[in-house]
Structure 1
Amino acid sequence: MTPRLDLTADPVELTAALVDVPSVSGSEAELADAVEGALRSQTPGLEVVRSGNAVLARTGLGLASRVVLAGHLDTVPVNDNLPLRRSGSGDGEVLHGCGTVDMKGGDAVMLHLAATLDRPRHDLTFVFYDCEEVSADRNGLNRVESELPEWMDGQLAVVCEPSDAAVEAGCQGTLRVEVRTRGVRAHSARAWMGDNAIHAAEPVLRRLAEYTPRRPEVDGLRFHEGLQAVGISGGVAGNVVPDECVVTVNHRFAPDTSLDEAERRVRELFDGFEVTVVDAARAAHPGLAEETTSELVRASGTSPVAKLGWTDVARFAARGMPAVNFGPGSPTLAHTQQENVAAADIRHCAEVLRRALGADERG
């Protein structure tokens, strides 16, 4: 039986209800059914559509601007941390369990606003999607962007991932490459007859160790780039000089760098070696100069910070709009058995977004 969600309830109670519906990646149908049913029955002013296990809703008030709020419904596998457990009370209450921080607290805030924000200053789109916690090719936003691209467009995107209730603006891009060295096989007892490809990788590792990361300032935010060896493989047997070695390198680059520029820098650093790009994603510009972004920052009452990592904000930024992370809870607790979120954080984020987006809520 599909659980009934009360979208007008305290967003803390709504978080608890969402958490108690398990939704490990690939198994979101029950929760998506509940979200869809609640949006259709409790938000008469919203257009609601379903795409696989993604649920989308939007206003059509004809306002001059639109803000997209997005959150994923799936979680990592349960780790003996369901059903929901509570500790403390009042302002000190904490919700514990799989999905509390990543990111059903953020989903609850979005659902609550969808049902209770009567007079928004912007038209609003709410995107609840599936399979974010697995490989990028399964991410539900791929399907939404392919089938319903207009549902991802607006003047600002807010991804309600945990951000300690601060605005995390933009995000770093990521580039993963394989740097390959080649040699000649030989019996290890007659090593002089071969050429050891693993030994030949020493300059690759030395260049990485000597690399000085850029720390550029973008929109007043300090980003910190990185270039790290994240894997190394080589060798075929315990008595054979290896003829190939592969060093896998991950480069995290700031929003002032294009994907092409990031690749050029990496290839220049490893000039003379065989370099193959195996994965890449663009960075997202913070967009803090945009008025809609500034409204959210002012409403938060905190200073924005740079997002040192890659998130789905980059998917929205690639469509030409500023995008930020803003949600309850600490990202350091995501994917841990101890995952938890403070009730006060959930309520605070709901009120900040209400102030930022509501026509009568500016203070």
Structure 2
Amino acid sequence: MLGGMTDTAPAPLPPLDLSATSVALTKQLCDMPSVSGDEVAIADAIVASLSGFDHLELHRDGDTVVARTNLGRPARVVIAGHIDTVPINDNLPTRYETLDEGSTAGTPGDYLWGRGTVDMKGGVAVQLKLAAELTAPSVDITWMWYDNEEVSSDLNGLGRLARNSPEMFAGDFAILGEPTNSLIEGGCNGTLRAQIRTHGLRAHSARSWVGDNAIHSLSPVLATLATYEPRQVEVEGLVFREGLNAVGISGGVAGNVIPDAAAVEVNYRFAPSRSGAEAEAHIRELFDGFDVTIVDVAEGARPGLDAPVARQFIEAVGGVPLPKYGWTDVARFSALGVPAVNYGPGDPLKAHADDERVLLSQITACEDGLRRWLNGTAASDE
């Protein structure tokens, strides 16, 4: 008893209906709120739903769930998706809607609207359905559904699993179900954040000449950023576009004081041909003479599309692979020597948006593409 009330755990969510369509399963998942840090109920539901399938070996690490086949196939692939979302903002429960020709809200078609539909429970739904149904795939599969992707990297369930059970990441190829409009996006850019600080001398603003304005001293930094021409770098046939931008600025003491300190926060998105150390060296060279502190850096991932199993995946799914400009968890696989791509339903421009919505046709297209590949069937065979 606490404060006159019984401290009871919330009722568990019912198991998922894995016999439903991938669209209906997406709706089920999205209507189970799972904001980062609160994924226990949806992880419980996933375990309960998969526990009756003899072809799957289950493993759980916190709120990360792994399901593996062990059929003795010559190749193993890892297919992963995160089960958390950013905070809800009056966009649950989900609903179906249709956008007609001439709509300015998006591509005409039938949609599922609501938090998580794009990022990324549509991809998770496809993965869960295939995990249940593909009892004899052409490759062995390790399915991973993990927590805390949308928050600090040190909380990421995939990173925790890699530390606790690195053997789970053994594979010849990996797919992350991030939203890509159900197109293949290979690898990802790296990302670096840096603080560039200037220092001055405080004085009364009525006598500014006896001080040294730290904010004014940032002008060369801002000029460098404004005139910077980002590279476009070809890596294994894909062209990655870089970016260097100010994402924050701070400084000032009071309305009548010359500031003695100021800082610009810079975000550098760099092609996967460049290492984290090389990216840091580039930033320090650009801002030579300034006080530069690297806040964080995450290396990118090369596409790895030349691997035999990757070529089979491209043949089965069809289309022309594209580069991934943003950083995703494919970089974790790449760091372990496993080539990885992004492939999932949903327009990434709608990820985290209040009007987050996914085209139903993209969910079914993603399911069809993965099913063909995992069954060893090329798109041209249909």
TM-score band w.r.t. shorter chain: over 0.9
Q: Tell me which amino acid in the other structure corresponds to 1:238.
A: G
Q: Name the residue aligned to 1:217.
A: 234
Gaps of 5+ in 2: 1-11, 100-107
Q: Name the residue aligned to 1:157.
A: 174
Query: Quick one: which of 120, 144, 150 aligns to 1:127?
Result: 144
Q: Tell me, in whole angstroms, the C-alpha distance in 2 between the residues paired with 1:101 and 1:247.
A: 32
Say whether residues 1:117 and 2:127 are aligned partners.
no
Question: Shift of the alpha carbon at 1:29?
Answer: 1.2
What is the SS of the residue equivalent to 1:332?
helix
Say whether residues 1:188 and 2:205 are aligned partners.
yes
Work out whether residues 354 and 361 of structure 1, in 8 Å CA contact, stay in contact via their aligned partners in 2: no
Tell me which stretches of 4 or more aligned residues in structure 1 moved more than 3 Å. Answer: 359-362
Q: Name the residue aligned to 2:77.
A: 67
Work out whether residues 218 and 256 of structure 1, in 8 Å CA contact, stay in contact via their aligned partners in 2: yes
What is the SS of the residue equivalent to 1:184?
coil
Query: Quick one: which of 27, 39, 54 aligns to 2:38?
Result: 27
Q: Name the residue aligned to 2:4.
A: none
- Quickly say closer, same or farther: Cα 1:193–1:319, change in 2 above 3 A: same
Work out whether residues 186 and 305 of structure 2, in 8 Å CA contact, stay in contact via their aligned partners in 1: yes
Q: Name the residue aligned to 2:375.
A: 358
Q: Name the residue aligned to 1:46.
A: 56
Query: Quick one: which of 297, 316, 321 aligns to 1:304?
Result: 321
Work out whether residues 253 and 259 of structure 2, in 8 Å CA contact, stay in contact via their aligned partners in 1: yes
Q: Name the residue aligned to 2:103.
A: none
Q: Tell me, in whole angstroms, the C-alpha distance in 2 between the residues paired with 1:173 and 1:360.
A: 33
The C-alpha deviation readout for 1:281-315, integer Å capped at 9, x for no partner, is 00100111111211222222110101011111111
Q: Tell me, in whole angstroms, the C-alpha distance in 2 between the residues paired with 1:140 and 1:34.
A: 17
Where do residues 209-358 of structure 1 align in structure 2 (5 Å cutoff)?
A: 209-358=226-375
Query: Quick one: which of 22, 26, 29 aligns to 1:11?
Result: 22
Q: Tell me which amino acid in the other structure corresponds to 1:25.
A: S
What is the SS of the residue equivalent to 2:51?
helix
The C-alpha deviation readout for 1:205-253, integer Å capped at 9, x for no partner, is 1111121111011111111111111111112122221111111111100
What is the SS of the residue equivalent to 1:247?
strand
What is the SS of the residue equivalent to 2:332?
helix
Work out whether residues 55 and 135 of structure 2, in 8 Å CA contact, stay in contact via their aligned partners in 1: no
Query: Quick one: which of 176, 191, 195 aligns to 1:178?
Result: 195
The C-alpha deviation readout for 1:140-181, integer Å capped at 9, x for no partner, is 112111111111231111001110010010000001111111
Question: Shift of the alpha carbon at 1:360?
Answer: 5.7
Work out whether residues 185 and 343 of structure 2, in 8 Å CA contact, stay in contact via their aligned partners in 1: yes
The C-alpha deviation readout for 1:90-134, integer Å capped at 9, x for no partner, is x95421111111111100110111111122222100110111112
Q: Tell me, in whole angstroms, the C-alpha distance in 2 between the residues paired with 1:2 and 1:209.
A: 51
Per the normalisation by structure 2, the TM-score is 0.91
**Mean Cα deviation higher: 294-303 or 125-134:** 294-303
Q: Tell me, in whole angstroms, the C-alpha distance in 2 between the residues paired with 1:226 and 1:129.
A: 29
Work out whether residues 73 and 104 of structure 1, in 8 Å CA contact, stay in contact via their aligned partners in 2: yes
Gaps of 5+ in 1: none
- Quickly say closer, same or farther: Cα 1:186–1:92, change in 2 above 3 A: closer
Work out whether residues 119 and 359 of structure 1, in 8 Å CA contact, stay in contact via their aligned partners in 2: no
Say whether residues 1:78 and 2:83 are aligned partners.
no
- The percent of aligned pairs where both chains have the same amino acid is 54
Q: Tell me which amino acid in the other structure corresponds to 1:67.
A: V
Question: Shift of the alpha carbon at 1:88?
Answer: 4.9
Q: Tell me which amino acid in the other structure corresponds to 1:31.
A: I
